[in-house]
Amino acid sequence: MNDSSGTGDEPWLVAGLGNPGPRYAGNRHNVGFMVVDLLAERAGGTFRTHKARAAVLAGRLGGVPGSPGPRVVLAKPLSFMNLSGGPVGALAAFYKIPVSRLVVVHDELDLEYGVLRLKRGGGDNGHNGLKSLTAALGKDYYRVRFGVGRPPGRMDTADHVLRDFSAAERKELDYFVDRTADAVETLVTRGLEPAQNAYNS
């Protein structure tokens, strides 16, 4: 399988990982939701609840005059992070999207805050959302990894990712979320290597 975006008009599935509900909305663990929310604004649509237990929006991204850009299904699983694989797998089956056209946006502890890395395949590195996705779909999907850094001192990892971004981090958060959304658009319109060259910090 190649990693370039489709000539043709096959859709992509772009899933942002997070936990549903206002209690979690500003958490580091929810940065995937934040990025997909911004992509939804760019696509000019609104999410609706799908029977697969996800909020979904079908539209297009990255268009220019004369070319509407590729079709995408934007998704936010509503099953909580550690069960993300069920909804994403069900959406992939419903829309007939192969895992080779699945992009997952998630928080990454092993990258400093705001650092971005794009890759295809690999392990879950202890991330419960990725663990669930890989169990459901295999590991051959694209990952857009948003750095949230390691917890300070002896803070528990779960406490760190389930806390809101700090006041200092929030000053740059909109910029980093915007840049991550740009990276997703580049991946689905131009392919992995151009996206890596442009955005792997």
Strands (E), 95-151: 102-108, 116-120, 142-147
Look up residue 150 and give its two tokens: 């390691």
Please name which of 100, 148, 141 lies closest in space to residue 124, comparing C-alpha atoms.
141
Strand ranges (E), 27-183: 48-50, 54-60, 71-77, 102-108, 116-120, 142-147
Q: How far apart are CA 164 and CA 47, in angstroms?
A: 23
Does the active-site annotation cover 106? Answer: no
What is the β-pairing status of strands 12-16 and 71-77?
A: parallel
Q: End-to-end CA distance of the chain, in Å? A: 26
Q: Where in the sequence numbering do the catalytic residues fall?
A: 29
